[in-house]
């Protein structure tokens, strides 16, 4: 079985983004928990969680947990925010040089739920984007430990429609399908 770390962002005093009734730290924890059980049932992924409650781990601690469970992949799960309420959709980020991260992020970006699909279907390499610093912060603890990884920003809570979609059961289901489709890449990568 392939050990995978699910890393729902923020927690404790750190709410993450909070708009239109979505509180990032709570949403991503709930989604990651549901994802945990979905992956558990695959019998080829052994899922782990960086946190299972409302606590602020700190980024490096999450990386440390990845190391302890010998994760072959770490997926940071976040919700995006932007000054412009028009910006919407799902985004996936990976770090340059992380081939497995690129494969998984690409698969997730292509499998985004139709309503969250952005015009560009390719994922973003962290250093080329305005989100660079944040993405690097989130993923560096994994890179430092040679754990392939990517960051999925599910949607923009600053966009009213995205926030509505996040609270739609069908879309939540689709998002979980997106993540599973991306992680399927690991079977090939690790020859399962
Ligand atoms: Zn976040």
- Number of separate domains in the chain: 1
Pairing label, strands 22-23, 18-19: antiparallel
- CA 121 and chain centroid, separation: 16
pLDDT in tens, 53-88: 999 988 889 999 999 999 999 999 999 999 999 999
pTM (predicted TM-score): 0.94
Cα of 72 vs centre of ligand 1, distance in Å, is: 22
Q: How far is the CA of 119 from the centre of ligand 1 (A)?
A: 22
Asked if 166 contacts 154 with a C-beta cutoff of 8 angstroms, the reply is yes
Residue 129 confidence class, pLDDT cut points 50, 70, 90: low
> Domain residues for 145?
2-190
> How much distance in Å is there from the Cα of 31 to the middle of ligand 1?
14
* Rounded distance from Cα 116 to ligand 1 centre (Å): 17
Cα–chain center distance at 20: 20
Distance between Cα 92 and ligand 1 center (Å): 13
Q: How many CA atoms lie within 13 A of 27 on its CB side?
A: 29
pLDDT tens sequence across 141-160: 999 999 999 999 999 999 99
The pLDDT value given to residue 118? 84
pLDDT band at 112 (very low <50, low <70, confident <90, very high): very high
Dist CA 5 CA 118 (whole Å): 26
What is the pLDDT, as a whole number, of residue 134?
81
Q: Give 155 Cα–ligand 1 centroid separation in angstroms.
A: 11
Domain harbouring 148, CATH code: 3.40.630.40
């Amino acid at each position: 079985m392939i050990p995978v770390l699910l890393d729902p962002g923020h927690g404790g005093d750190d709410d993450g983004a909070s708009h239109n009734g979505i509180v990032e730290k709570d949403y991503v924890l709930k989604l990651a928990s549901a994802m945990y059980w979905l992956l558990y049932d695959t019998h080829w992924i052994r899922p782990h969680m960086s946190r299972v409650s409302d606590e602020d781990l700190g980024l490096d601690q999450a990386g440390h947990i990845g190391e302890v469970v010998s994760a072959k992949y770490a997926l940071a799960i976040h919700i995006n925010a932007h000054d412009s309420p028009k910006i919407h959709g799902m985004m996936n980020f990976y770090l340059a040089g992380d081939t497995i991260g690129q494969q998984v992020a690409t698969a997730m970006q292509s499998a985004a739920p139709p309503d969250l699909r952005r015009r560009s279907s390719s994922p973003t390499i962290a250093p080329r984007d305005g989100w660079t610093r944040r993405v690097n912060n989130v993923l560096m603890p994994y890179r430092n430990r040679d754990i392939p990884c990517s960051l999925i920003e599910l949607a923009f809570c600053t966009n009213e429609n995205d926030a509505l979609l996040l609270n739609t059961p069908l879309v939540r289901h689709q998002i979980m399908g997106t993540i599973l489709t991306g992680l399927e890449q690991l079977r090939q990568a690790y020859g399962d």
